[in-house]
Amino acid sequence: MTAVVPGLVGVVLAAGSGSRAGGPKGLREGADGVPWVVTATATLRNAGCERLIVVTGAWAAAVAALVPHGAETVECVDWNTGLSASFRSGLEAAASAPEARAVLLTLVDLPGMPSSVAQRVVTAGAVDVTTLRRATVAGRPNHPVLLGRDHWVGAAALADGERGAGPYLRRNGAELVEVGDLWDGADIDGPE
């Protein structure tokens, strides 16, 4: 476990309906019975996040009921317009605390991502308001992404439909952190 990084907020996007998955991903669980939302928040906590936010949408109350103690929930009311809406909701929730300096953001449908992946992204350099970093697997963009507060407004403005931070990260030369030796980068979009 990485030491707590002051001002680092972990954000889990768990708002989608999971139409390809057969139901909301925020309600899914691993073979061990642990909800994915619990796995994702633990991954971010182990990476040093001092505050955790889970963005809900489809089946918001049911997903919120699974969120572990110590993590906050924020409901994205326009979740059905795409990932960009939940991305913006997560950034807005993080910005509500003036001491928040950066967000470490991941998706709930990455239950196989080990904490070591998020830890590597956090410890690859300084974490401050100017940080702009993302994980890559074999050179392909992946999660988590680390955005300093100075980038939140610009990233939110470029997010559209199913695109979150990606366009902003590319346009602004985000530092790439290779994690392919730790994880295959697989998300689970369909039924297990």
Q: What angle do CA 122, 127, 133 make, to 5 degrees?
A: 60
Q: How far apart are CA 104 and CA 118, in angstroms?
A: 8
Alpha carbon 119 to its chain's center = 13
Number of domains in the chain: 1
- Which residues, 6 or more positions from 128, have their beta carbon under 8 angstroms from its beta carbon? 101, 102, 148
Residue type, 80: N
- pTM of the entire predicted model: 0.95
Q: Is 188 domain-assigned?
A: no
Partners of residue 85 on adjacent β-strands: none
Q: Is 189 domain-assigned?
A: no
Q: Is 73 domain-assigned?
A: yes
192 residues of the chain, pLDDT tens digit each:
789 999 999 999 999 876 565 568 889 998 899 999 999 999 999 999 999 999 999 899 999 999 999 999 999 999 989 889 999 999 999 999 999 999 999 999 999 999 999 999 999 999 999 999 999 999 999 999 999 999 999 999 999 888 899 999 999 999 999 999 999 998 876 555
List the domain range (segments joined by +) for residue 35: 5-178
Q: Could you write out the DSSP letters of every residue in 111-124?
A: TT--HHHHHHHHHT
